[in-house]
Structure 1
Amino acid sequence: MGWLEKHLPSLEEATSTTPQLHENTSSNRFNVSHPLPSAPPAMQPRPYHNSLTPLLSPLRPHCLARDRLRLWVPATSRSRLDHTGSLVSLTDSNIDRILLVIAHCHAPSTRECYGSSLLVFHVFCDSRGIPEHQRCPASSVLVLAFLAGCAGLYSGKTLENYFYGIHAWHLLHDLPWSVDQAQASLTLEGAKSLAPSSSSRAKRAPFTVALLLMIHSSLDLSTPLHAAVYACLTTSFFTIARTGEFTVPSLKSFDRHLHVSVSDIRHKVDRHGFHVTVFRLPRTNTSSSGEDVYWAAQSGLADPLAALNNHLHINHLSPSDALFSWQHGTGLHALTRTAFLKCLKDASAHSGHGDLKGHGIRIGGTLEYLLRGVPFETMKTMGRWNSDAFVLYLQKHTIVLAPYLQDQPVLEPFMCYALPT
């Protein structure tokens, strides 16, 4: 019996208790401060780049990119009037809490991306002498001029994020958004064709089961770091997870409200006796309420169950620890994305796979299941895609198209019902 089977029931019991609400009879519940989920440790913002330094303004304090949506305020503040024009008695702290709560509808990475868009937008406005009151609410012509001014400097995807970042800033501060969507769409399409070649990422090589086995042979799974890395790799591969969903950005940034802990593992058995291990992601790029990902045990050395059992046995974790923490000489370390990818790069360098990218794990897992004959709609659900964007993997990687291209296709029966129409 592995670590997971032995300890899983106690982990489920530890997370099944529902906290009870107690009536506060001594004071109104709104007379006390109700804290929001804990934030990462305070960090100092880095200096602005020489080419992206905004003019000094009390409306735009120097802060972290992820805080700019809320802390960079328009010259026109959020209205405190009701529908009759009467002033509602709210304090500045009440208004700030509105902004803080609404800002939490975006994942931290999204807030950071949108914060970058605000920086570029305001530097553009500074260079054109646009007065503060014209920046928000911004006219359609100003936003289009901004997008056109950035065309040829950034990728189409980056400019699209910048556009939505400015939109989110207007929504957050309750100011009207009057940009012509049709004109904006045409401008963004034009900007894509003008994007510099340097803005296009090189095609990511997909991980394969063979590559997982090669990495396994290069690691020492009796050591804490390697045990954690291989368990994280196999779990990410077979759950088709994004690299950042099972790792943390930095050693001090682990937060149980945002990142996977040991207690987020569940084990399920269906009516046919098939066993599945489920991981609850507390928060993802596309869901602030979290999502489930899952795998089943596999045969051979790429088995994620064996890798996870080995990791939990070697690293002696408690239910509240980050799932892929590892024992370091200075104490328990949550596995960071940087440490994870560096370890994989070092393990695969001698085999000619030294330029591996994290997203290749998600691509590789998708291709592996497709080549096994898993239907596209099932893959869409498992990969948590809201669109058919993942089908682009077929256009970029000949390994999944090869069986279909033969004069007697290997997957001919599968093609009849699996290919999207």
Structure 2
Amino acid sequence: VGEFLNWADSAGLDQQDILPPAEATLCNFAASFAGRLAGATVKAKISAVKGWVARRGMQWKGGANLGRVLSGVERRAPASSFRKERDPVKEDHLRVLHESLDLSGKCGKDHAIAAAAKALFAGQMCAGKLLGSSPALSDFNHKAFPAVRDLLPPNNTGECILRLPKTKTAQSRGEKVILVSKAGHTCPNCAFRHHLQVNRLGSEHPLMAYENKHNELAILTKSNFLTRCNDIWSSKGLPRMTGHCFCIGGTTHLLISGMPPDVVKALGRWKSNAFLKYWRNLDSLASIHLHRHHAQQKYHNRIQHRNRSAPY
């Protein structure tokens, strides 16, 4: 809002010209960023001005013309305004973690890190879904992060349900994450079982708590988790990752494995097709789904030919 007021002042506009601002004024303000900022950034500035106008009980005059100007600004966004795509965490990252962490039962923190990494990957979750910023038990917010009781026992097929009390898109009702058991070093449910046993956690404890070297419970934080993971990966020549890379990696892994996109979307609890922008290895994905499509088409044609040739 301050930026808008400064712009209006430099443009020689009076208070009566900006309270409320005419659509032409809004268009000129938005257009002033063309070629300098990303479209999303300019839209955020316009949204801030809209909120400022609404708080004063005035009518918002932005309409179709403003929308067209914002679209034009987005098309003219400089290359420097686009963030480099994040790399996905891969199974190889989990393998290196599994081999490098102390999972002998002597280091509770490493068991917590292993469980978090495998669950984030398998459940298509960002690190912030499980991990907060404070290690103190007294700061644990059970309305924002899961406790041990939120990890339900495995069902007959070996799947566990993890209840997330609160997420960005489900503030009050939370979400349920399906964690599928699997063979090998990437199994999230095996990692959680060992984590809970080694750290002797009860149902009321934070799910990502662990026993520190003083035999006291602390909570694994997002920063500690990522620091430990990246230190290990860097030492093995692997690129550093952010908390969001686990979600990207889990989604990409399922797609490359041949799972239909609509199933991946459901498992990832995506509310829209926004997850499509996180696809990586598009060449591999295209090949997989094109081969599947052609195989299904050949099978369908073969069945049709057989039915036409069958005697009646």
CA separation in 2, counterparts of 1:135 and 1:218?
60
Conservation of the 8 A alpha-carbon contact between 1:225 and 1:326: yes
Deviation at 1:153, TM superposition (A): 4.0
Q: Give the counterpart of 2:248 among 357, 363, 383.
A: 363
Distance 1:314 1:403, change over 3 A: same
Is residue 193 of structure 2 the alignment partner of residue 309 of structure 1?
yes
Gaps of 5+ in 2: 299-312
Is residue 231 of structure 2 the alignment partner of residue 346 of structure 1?
yes
Map of 2:5 onto structure 1? 125
CA separation in 1, counterparts of 2:93 and 2:64?
46
CA separation in 1, counterparts of 2:52 and 2:127?
28
Q: Secondary structure at the match of 2:153?
A: strand
Distance 1:127 1:165, change over 3 A: closer
- Per-residue displacement from partner, 1:109-136 (whole Å, max 9, x unpaired)? xxxxxxxxxxxx2233145337778767
Map of 1:257 onto structure 2? 143
Distance 1:380 1:190, change over 3 A: same
Deviation at 1:137, TM superposition (A): 5.2
CA separation in 1, counterparts of 2:154 and 2:43?
41
Higher relative contact order (CA 8 A, sep 6+): 2
TM-score norm. by structure 2 comes to 0.79
Is residue 34 of structure 2 the alignment partner of residue 148 of structure 1?
no
Q: Secondary structure at the match of 1:267?
A: coil
Deviation at 1:376, TM superposition (A): 1.6
CA separation in 2, counterparts of 1:415 and 1:369?
23
Deviation at 1:243, TM superposition (A): 2.1
1:403 partner letter: I
Runs of 4+ in 1 over 6 A off after TM superposition: 130-136
Deviation at 1:170, TM superposition (A): 5.5
Deviation at 1:227, TM superposition (A): 1.3
TM-score norm. by structure 1 comes to 0.60
Deviation at 1:184, TM superposition (A): 3.1
Distance 1:276 1:415, change over 3 A: farther
Is residue 263 of structure 2 the alignment partner of residue 381 of structure 1?
no
1:294 partner letter: I
- Per-residue displacement from partner, 1:212-253 (whole Å, max 9, x unpaired)? 112211211231222111111111111111221111134465
1:149 partner letter: S
Q: Give the counterpart of 2:203 among 315, 319, 322.
A: 319
CA separation in 2, counterparts of 1:296 and 1:184?
47
CA separation in 1, counterparts of 2:114 and 2:251?
19
Out of 257-266 and 141-150, give the one that drifted further.
141-150
Map of 2:160 onto structure 1? 277
Deviation at 1:142, TM superposition (A): 4.4
Is residue 213 of structure 2 the alignment partner of residue 333 of structure 1?
no
- Per-residue displacement from partner, 1:323-376 (whole Å, max 9, x unpaired)? 212333574332222222111111111232233232221121112222333222
Deviation at 1:385, TM superposition (A): 2.0
1:278 partner letter: I
Map of 1:216 onto structure 2? 98
Alignment of 1:184-223 (within 5 A): 184-221=66-103, 222=105, 223=107
Deviation at 1:308, TM superposition (A): 0.7
Gaps of 5+ in 1: 1-120, 417-421
Q: Secondary structure at the match of 1:293?
A: strand
Distance 1:297 1:199, change over 3 A: same
**Number of equivalent positions:** 289
Is residue 40 of structure 2 the alignment partner of residue 157 of structure 1?
yes
Distance 1:373 1:195, change over 3 A: same
Is residue 175 of structure 2 the alignment partner of residue 295 of structure 1?
no
Deviation at 1:404, TM superposition (A): 4.7
Conservation of the 8 A alpha-carbon contact between 1:167 and 1:177: no
Query: By percentage of residues, which structure has more helix?
Result: 2
Q: Give the counterpart of 2:275 among 390, 394, 398.
A: 390
Q: Secondary structure at the match of 2:162?
A: strand
Distance 1:365 1:170, change over 3 A: farther
Distance 1:385 1:393, change over 3 A: same
Q: Secondary structure at the match of 2:43?
A: helix
Distance 1:158 1:373, change over 3 A: same
Distance 1:247 1:159, change over 3 A: farther
Is residue 129 of structure 2 the alignment partner of residue 245 of structure 1?
yes
- Per-residue displacement from partner, 1:28-75 (whole Å, max 9, x unpaired)? xxxxxxxxxxxxxxxxxxxxxxxxxxxxxxxxxxxxxxxxxxxxxxxx
Distance 1:373 1:288, change over 3 A: same
CA separation in 2, counterparts of 1:347 and 1:399?
28
Q: Secondary structure at the match of 1:275?
A: coil
2:66 partner letter: A
